[in-house]
Amino acid sequence: MRVAFLVAPEGVEEIELTEPWKAVLGAGWNPQLVSTEPGRIQAFNHLDKAGTYPVDRVLGSHTAESFDALVLPGGVANPDALRMNETAVAFTQGFFESAKPVAAICHAPWLLVEADAVRGRTLTSWPSLATDIRNAGGTWVDEEVHVCHAKPATLVTSRKPDDLDAFCAAFLKEFGG
């Protein structure tokens, strides 16, 4: 299974990238780091710079059809930058249009709001996104992890890094099912 991890060139919360990545590798699947620019992305530990990671695929040359599932790590700056990028929004929409599963944690649902992918769905996120999700037609819940099976695509969401174990277990189950 090829799993896209969509991140901006700067601002992804490192642990929200690395722990799901390890989970995908542990399942024997193929994670691919997808970004809007080639080279390396700069991860953060909250507001402090952390590691850098090589980009495997650049948006524009790849669509949702190239992958089986999508993981959207959070961080505040990461989804904020991605939701302003039309290609990133279209890439994300493609997973829903193709009925491929998506997992998003923390602030990542901001990109889902921009992609008009929360309407009629129930999801969780970092609490400050609750109003944005409601305004976009979704239902926000305060849960460690929430799985929404609304058609056309399954959506797995979590609130924060403390929820990573539950998040990874849930998306592995849904992606593998």
Rounded Cα gap, residues 149 and 99, in angstroms: 11
Rounded Cα gap, residues 177 and 27, in angstroms: 12
* 39 conformational bin, left if phi > 0, alpha if psi -120 to 50, beta if neither: left
- Taking only the tens place, the pLDDT of each residue in 36-90 is 999 999 999 999 999 999 999 999 888 999 999 999 999 999 999 999 999 999 9
Structure confidence at residue 118 as a pLDDT band (50, 70, 90): very high
Q: What percent of the chain has pLDDT over 70?
A: 100
Give the DSSP H or E segment for 92. Answer: helix 86-97
Tokens describing residue 25: 């590798």
What is the CA 46 to chain-centroid distance, rounded? Answer: 17
Rounded Cα gap, residues 63 and 43, in angstroms: 23
pLDDT for 95: 98
- Taking only the tens place, the pLDDT of each residue in 127-151 is 999 999 999 999 999 999 999 999 9
Q: Do residues 100 and 152 touch, judged by C-beta distance below 8 A?
A: no
Please state whether the predicted TM-score (pTM) of the whole model is above 0.95.
yes
Positions marked catalytic? 106-107
What average pLDDT does this structure show over 11-22? Answer: 98
To which residue do tokens 């996104």 refer? 129
pLDDT for 176: 94
Assigned fold of 2-176: Rossmann fold (3.40.50)
